[in-house]
Chain A
C-alpha cells in the first residue's frame, strides 16, 4: 500500500504569489487533514476534508483554502503569500481504526 504522497517536496515562492500543494492519501482513506509546522508555532491544524467536504477548519486567514476531489486527493492553496507562510506543510490521512499517516511534507519558503 503506497503511503501519503505530497508534492512538491520543496518550493520557493515570492511574496504576493499564490501556491497550490497536493496530497494523495493512502488508498481507501477518505479523511485528509492539513497541518502547518513552523519552529515558533509547532504543528497547527489547517483543515480537514472528508468525502469532498470540509469538516473542520483551524484558525487561519481566508488566504488559506483547500479542496478534496472524488478520488480523495486534496489540494491546499495559499494566496497572496507572506514571509510568515514559510513552513513545512504536512498532510495526513486516517483510517477509521488507526492513527494518522503523514506524508513527508512540502517545505515552502517565501522570499
Chain B
C-alpha cells in the first residue's frame, strides 16, 4: 500500500510561475524525500528532510515538513520547461528496520511555454 500520497495528481502552470505539490503520509517517519522522474527514466533524488526539520532549501526548491499533520510540500520557484516531470515523495517509516522507502503515486508537472 502507498504510504505517501501526492496532491495534485497533475499540475500545469506557465513558465516562470511557482509550482507547489503536496504529500501526505500515514505513519511516523525518520525522513521524507522528494524525487523527480523525467518521462520513463530513473528517479533523481532532489532533497531529503529529516523528521526534526521543518524547512529545507536547495536552489529553486523549498521543502516543508509538518509532522503533526503528516504532510510535506515541495515548492519549485520560477519554473522552467525543464522542470516538466513527475515528482514523488517517499517516506522512510520509523518502524522500518530495513532500507525500504515507500513512494506515493506522484504529481505530473507540466510547464507551459
Contact check, A45 vs B45: say whether CB atoms are below 8 A apart: no
Count residues on chain A whose CB falls below 8 Å from chain B CBs.
26
Chain A: minimal CB distance from B42 (Å): 4
Chain B: minimal CB distance from A57 (Å): 9
B-binding segment of A64-72, A78-86, A94-102:
A94-102
Contact check, A90 vs B43: say whether CB atoms are below 8 A apart: yes
Closest to A33 in B: B99
Contact check, A101 vs B2: say whether CB atoms are below 8 A apart: no
Closest to A50 in B: B99
A sample of 7 cross-chain residue pairs with beta-carbon separation below 8 angstroms, ordered by A number, consists of A6-B42, A45-B100, A48-B99, A48-B100, A55-B99, A56-B100, A99-B35
Chain B: residues with CB nearer than 8 A to chain A?
2, 33, 35, 40-45, 48, 88, 90, 98-106
Beyond A43-B103, A103-B42, 5 extra complex contacts between A and B, CB < 8 Å: A4-B42, A42-B104, A42-B105, A100-B35, A100-B43
